Each structure stands twice: as structure tokens, then as C-alpha cells.
Amino acid sequence: MEKDTFVIGVDYGSDSVRSVLVNARNGEEVASAVFNYPRWEAGAYCVPAENQFRQHPLDYIEGLEYTITQCLQKAGKNIAAAVKGIAVDTTGSTPVAVDKTGTPLALLPGFEENPHAMFVLWKDHTGVNEAAEINEHAKKFDTNYLQYVGGIYSSEWFWAKLLRTLRADKQVREATYSWVEHCDWIPFLLTGGTDVHQMKRGVCSAGHKSLWAVEFGGLPPEDFFATLDPLLSGFTSRLFKDTYTSDQPAGNLSPEWAERLGLSTDVVVGVGAFDAHMGAVGGQVEPYHLSKVMGTSTCDMLVAPIDEVKDKLVNGICGQVPGSVIPGMMGLEAGQSAFGDTYAWFKKILLWPLQQFFAQSQVIDAQTAKSLLDEISAKIIPELSKQAEQIPLSENNEYAIDWFNGRRTPDANQLLKGAISGLGLGSDAPRVFRALVEATCFGAKKIVDRFNEQGVPVKGLIGLGGVAKKSPFIMQMMADVMNMPIRIHKSEQTCAIGAAMFAATAAGIYAKVEDAMAAMGQGFDAEYIPDAEKAKIYAKRYQKYTELGDFLEDHITNSKSPLISDLPETGTKAQEPHTEAQKQKEEALESTSTNNTK
């Protein structure tokens, strides 16, 4: 490539959206901008105690416009004309109810403040009962419709969230025409889509979360869903059959969005995908190397030649889908429901008394109190890491289970809870923090063990994301626990850079994404080598982690604690008690024919 051309990668995370403007010739990051979701930041529409996490589409739209225009302003006006492509990644499964035009219901009059009309964030677990029903229901069929998603359907995914939403809110149920993933909706928005049937759905989200497979001819048959719950009757006809890899164009930038962003309608918008999948590409994933995107949760991606793994099904992961990461390769996904979120939870515990008493202080003013809290908050995790690193490693140290947001893989179970064990009067904050970090590393090892046990060998580890870049303490422990080296990618924005690589491919700058990876990849800048002596001790502690986890899972599974969806829904005017579920189904039968003709 002789002339500089530019592409934009947009990365939607749990708390914010980031856009990067990248030189497609060499991968140089020319400008970047971040937008924190204001409604999410204020805690709107979420009920953490009930695992309800919703995001308003306006947070996404405002962030999209702000970050891209900021990038162009920072880079200079002359660059806008040289921008050739945009691609988007998002969290997932993060779906939303839409009308026939593909408009999220929360953007329509009467639904603006209704959480059930908003995007259901990946970590929303209100659909645990629905996921359990899907898993039980699937056993009734000769075809195993769960075989390509690890054999277990999760409450974090598409169908469980759809069914939960239809049951929970009659007003939303009657207005819902279709159900759309965040990563599919943003390209549809940018290209000016007005008919949900014309939306190009990515194979990434469809295969890993929606039960789509070539072997099924698309989604499972109508009978699978209609016999699960009459609310789902006819729904597949309003969804999709075809899917697309992310090297393909979704269309061109619409006149409206071209004007809003200051770009040309010649700009190509690529098909969307999930953040970790594009992040693996941005982090230059290699066959049989586990690419670990480590942030609030982890998503672990592995690619392998299709002809080498096509007959191997890895149980208990988040699916294996041809082309979901790199077109022409099998993409396998696993991950942990809480990683950085575990550390953030412990930090909140430690900050709680300071937040309470600083607000009531008669010694310092409000501004000083805020400044102190901000300073302490920023220093807690680094200082805990420093102190925890100095604790001698012993078989008898405190230990923990990392299921603070349930378990994603291996073997999804969002009802599971975290635990801390071996506590004594000498168990201070650094010791407990150390146990939590170790637990997240042990959880990561469980994933590697599952791949290895089922015939898909993990030959190397690649660390990506904020935790990988910012915490040598955690990464060294990860290498010791795994007893494998872990390379850390140089880029701090691998998801956004990966999106930029796909944008360059969709725009025709590169013939295939591997060419974009080779030209635009930034390489690695750190490697953690395992300590052989520590690895031996961790192997013994890993056995304790496994035993405690087995005990805890057995206790929770056999207890009679209420399920999440047995608790009352909050935050919406159109609530119906869970005890009226059967009545809702009967009402739905009457409204189904109406919905099918909208």
C-alpha cells in the first residue's frame, strides 16, 4: 500500500465505547476517544441484587457519534476524506427487543424508561430459569441443538433473555417484532436500515449465542421453540436464516450518519461481531493459542483449522463456530463471568466505610472528601497487588472460588456463587485479595484443562486487555498457575484494533483478515515465564480449589434457595408477578397471531 488510508474500529465495552482511527497501511493508531455511558454510570435501569443489568440505546448512539467525531477532530480534517471503512465490536450476548423497522423499543414513545425495552447486557442473569428450561427441553429432541454451544445453554445468551423478556412484560411482548444483538444493530443503524429482515446478522453472535448452525439449516426448527413456550411461536420467522463473517460489508454509511460523523457515504461498514472475537484478531491470535481478553470478565478465544477440529466437540464451552473469529478457521470461545469484576467487588467492600463516613465528616469539606476517595480508589488495587506479591506462597494460604457472577465455562451455571475459605484472624486485605486473584487464575486453568482433555490442545497463551497490560502481579501468577508462558500484546486496544482490521478487510484494502493482521498488528511487548517451584505449589492448591468448588456446587445445586427469576422484577411499570406465568402464556397465545402479522 503506497498511500495512507484510514479505518475506524469501534469497541463497545461494558462501561464505555472507544473508537480508534487507524492507518490501514501500518496499524498506527492516529487518534482515539472514549465515551462513558452516562445512564449506565448513574446505575439507571439496573438492579444488581437481582442480576438485572440493562443499557439504554441512547448511551450507545451518543457514544458512537461522540467518539468518532472526536477521533476525526484530533486527527485533522484532511483525514476524513481518506477514511474507507468502519467496523464494530460489542459485548455479547447483549440483545434488545425491536419493532419491524429494527428500532429498539426504548427509542419509541412509551418505552423510554422501561428496562425490558432496553439492551439486556451480557452479564444480566435474570433468565436463569429460562436457560434451565432450554437445557431440559433440548433433551426431548433426537437432534442435539446444543452441541455447538458446548452442550449447555446459558442465561447470558440470546434465547434465555428473549424468553425472559417476553414473560416479564406484557407491554414489551406485544410491541416486540424481533430480537437483535447489539453487534448486529450498530452496523444496521450506521447503514440506515429500516427493515429488520434486511439486517445482516454476524455468524459470530448467531453461532455462539443463538443456536444457529449450518448443520441445522439455520436456527433450530419452529417446533423446538414453540413447544418450549407458546410465546416463541412464529418467532424464528421474524429472525434470520443467513449469517455473514465480519470480513464482509454490511453496507455503506447512510447519508444521515455520513453527515453526523463528517464522513463520506463511500465509507464501508463491516458486519459486526463480539469484542473478544475481534480482540483476538487485534491481538494477532495464532492457531491453538488461547487468546485471553481480560477485563471485567474474560473471553478466551482459540482458532484452529476446520479440518483438524470439525469432528471434535468441546463440552461446556461457549461454542465452536466456523468463521466466528477468522473466516475459514474454526473459532472456539470460553471465558469467565467475573475476572476484573471480582477485584472491583473487593475494592468496593474496602471503600464502603470510607464512602459512608467521609460523606458525614465534620473535619473535611465535600470536595476534599471526594478527592481523597478518588485518590484512594485509584491506589487500592495497585497497593493490594504490591503487598499480596510479598506474601510467601504456601499450600495453606487462604483460597477462594471465583464464581462471584456465576460460572460461564467450563459448564455454564449462573446460579453458582463465590466463596472465600481458610480465613483466620491473620487474614488481612492483601491475603484475601491474593486468594481472589489466585481463584481467577485457577478458573482460567479449568478452561485450558477442558480444551486439552477434549482433544483441542492449548499450545500457548496470549494476554489481551486492561488487566493483562496493567497488572504484572496477576499475569505472573497466571503463568505460574498455568505452568505456561503468557505473551502480552503491545496494543492496549486490541478489540478496537481488531475491529479496524476487519474494517480494512471489508473495505477491500486487504483481501483477507490475515493480511490485515500481518500489516496492522503491533506485536508483543512482554512475556511472563512460569516459576517451576511455585507451579508445583499451585498445582496442589489447584486441587483444593477443585475440591472446594465441587462441594460448593453440590451444596448450591441441592439447596432450595429461590432462583433469581423467582424474585420480583423492578424498575418497570408493566410488571406481572412470576406466579402469573401461566396466565401470561395463555394471553400470549391470543396475541401471537397479531404479532406474526405486524
Cβ atoms of residues 164 and 87 within 8 Å: no
The string of pLDDT tens digits covering residues 443-486 is 999 999 999 999 999 999 999 988 999 999 999 999 999 999 99
pLDDT of residue 2: 58
CA–CA dist 420, 554 (Å, integer): 16
Please state, as a whole number, how many other Cβ atoms lie within 10 Å of the Cβ of residue 491.
25
Domain 6-283+492-524, second-level architecture: 2-Layer Sandwich (3.30)
Cell reading at 111:
418505552
Alpha helical stretches, state H, 360-428 = 366-389
Strand 298-305 relative to strand 460-464, pairing: unpaired
pLDDT of residue 492: 86
pLDDT of residue 460: 95
Was domain 340-490+531-558 assigned CATH 3.90.226.10?
A: no
Which long-range CB contacts under 8 A does 212-219 form with residues at least 24 apart? Answer: 212/240, 212/243, 213/148, 213/321, 214/322, 215/148, 216/143, 216/145, 217/241, 218/242
Share of the chain above pLDDT 90, in %: 88
Residue 409 CA to chain centroid, in angstroms? Answer: 13
Cβ atoms of residues 436 and 423 within 8 Å: no
CA–CA dist 183, 43 (Å, integer): 23
Closest C-alpha to 376, from 358, 403, 360: 358
359 phi and psi angles, rounded to 5 deg = -65, -25
pLDDT of residue 1: 52
Cβ atoms of residues 12 and 275 within 8 Å: yes
Closest C-alpha to 442, from 389, 399, 491: 399
Closest C-alpha to 409, from 547, 208, 212: 208
pLDDT of residue 414: 86
568 phi and psi angles, rounded to 5 deg = -70, 140
CA–CA dist 321, 214 (Å, integer): 10
- How do the domains of the chain map onto residue ranges? 6-283+492-524, 340-490+531-558
Strand 16-23 relative to strand 6-12, pairing: antiparallel
Q: Which helix (H) or strand (E) holds 431?
A: helix 429-453
197 phi and psi angles, rounded to 5 deg = -70, -15
pLDDT of residue 467: 92
**Torsional sign, CA 139, 141, 145, 150:** positive
Spans of the chain, pLDDT less than 70: 1-2, 77, 560-598
Matching CATH topology for 6-283+492-524 and 340-490+531-558? yes
Give bridge partners of residue 404 from the DSSP assignment. Answer: 406
